[in-house]
Amino acid sequence: MLGYVQIFKPELKVREYEVYMGYYCGVCKYIGAEYGHLPRMVLSYDAAFLALLLACVDETPDAPVQEHCIAHHIKDKTIIRNRAVEYAGDVMLILAWYKMLDDAQDEGKLYAKASARLLKKLHRKLQKKYPALCDGIEINLAKLNGLEKAKCASLDEAAESFSKIMDVIFREGARALYPDLQELHETFGRIGYHMGKWIYLMDAADDIEENIESGAYNPLLYRFEYRGIASAHDAGSDTAPDVETPQQFRERIRGDLEFNLYQYLAVLSQQTGSLDIRKNQGIIDNVIYLGMNRKTEEILNKTDKGESNESI
């Protein structure tokens, strides 16, 4: 999920932060026990939130335990184990497989080829465990790759495939944990979908300068017709478009970015608010209303040097 779904730590209670880290460490422990130590490298804090959100409608209380951690061996860490934690760990490995496969095929990166070989056996196992999940991710990734290769100028169309990937991740998670609650499956699917819209646009806005420099696809550059040096092929003529810097491009599209990003967050908050949350309400509210909002402000205020103009 690209690392944009974050907590805002200063506003979390000590106990809440311990629970949040308990989910994170629980995913790490699960991956290590089930698949070995090397696959733990794919872990991100996105997994903790996925597990927290899927588990929040389960009235069974969390049961934290203190265990030794190979990475932090001085002090025992809080570990939380449940079915949602296991699902989040499996999702991280599935996404890592497709990411490494894409890097190996499109960019020929040696580390990606080696990692893809390492994850191939694990992916076969997970494909049997979650066939609908893997099929949904694979189909929509193929659509997304096709749109990127075609340099799609429609932001909505480009974001749609990624949003459907997030939809299937959350929907299949709810189906795995609560198989008889069809309405809940639909709600989690909508949560994933709208979160996917926000993440995709955030990633595009975050990578503007990097994509301009590398020539990689970014829907914003095509949707808003970036007028950079490369596009001003006729720079010496009277009809040539005005050349703009990446920072000027950011400033020009800021209003559209701001409107869409906050609109996605508003719909997302409505969907999460419709859940019958039984536990960890404070952590979920912190992420949705503070962490994701702060991250949005950070990206909106980013300069062409990769810094934020936001005053903390």
Non-local CB neighbours of 78 within 8 Å, separated by 6+ positions: 18, 19, 21, 22, 25, 64, 65, 66
Q: What whole-number percentage of the chain has pLDDT above 90? A: 70
Mean per-residue pLDDT for 42-48?
Answer: 87
Is 212 a member of any domain?
yes
Task: Please write the tens of the pLDDT for every residue from 163-191.
Answer: 999 999 999 999 999 999 999 999 999 99
* Cβ 60 vs Cβ 39: under 8 Å: no
Is 312 a member of any domain?
no
Which of the pair, 121 or 233, is modelled with greater confidence?
Answer: 121
Is 191 a member of any domain?
yes
Task: Please write the tens of the pLDDT for every residue from 232-287.
Answer: 444 444 554 578 999 999 999 999 999 999 999 999 999 999 999 999 999 999 99
Chain centroid to CA 28? 18
Computed over every residue of the chain, the mean pLDDT equals: 88
pTM (2 decimals)?
0.89
Question: Given this model, what pLDDT does residue 206 score?
Answer: 96
Is 259 a member of any domain?
yes
Nearest-angstrom CA–CA distance, 140 and 90? 19
Q: What is the DSSP letter of 306?
A: S
Is 205 a member of any domain?
yes
Range of the domain at 215: 164-233+241-275
User: Is the per-residue pLDDT at 216 higher than 70?
Assistant: yes
Is 157 a member of any domain?
no
Is 170 a member of any domain?
yes
Domains in the chain, number? 1
* Cβ 191 vs Cβ 272: under 8 Å: yes
Provide the pLDDT confidence category of residue 101 given band limits of 50, 70 and 90: confident
* Cβ 31 vs Cβ 92: under 8 Å: yes
Is 153 a member of any domain?
no
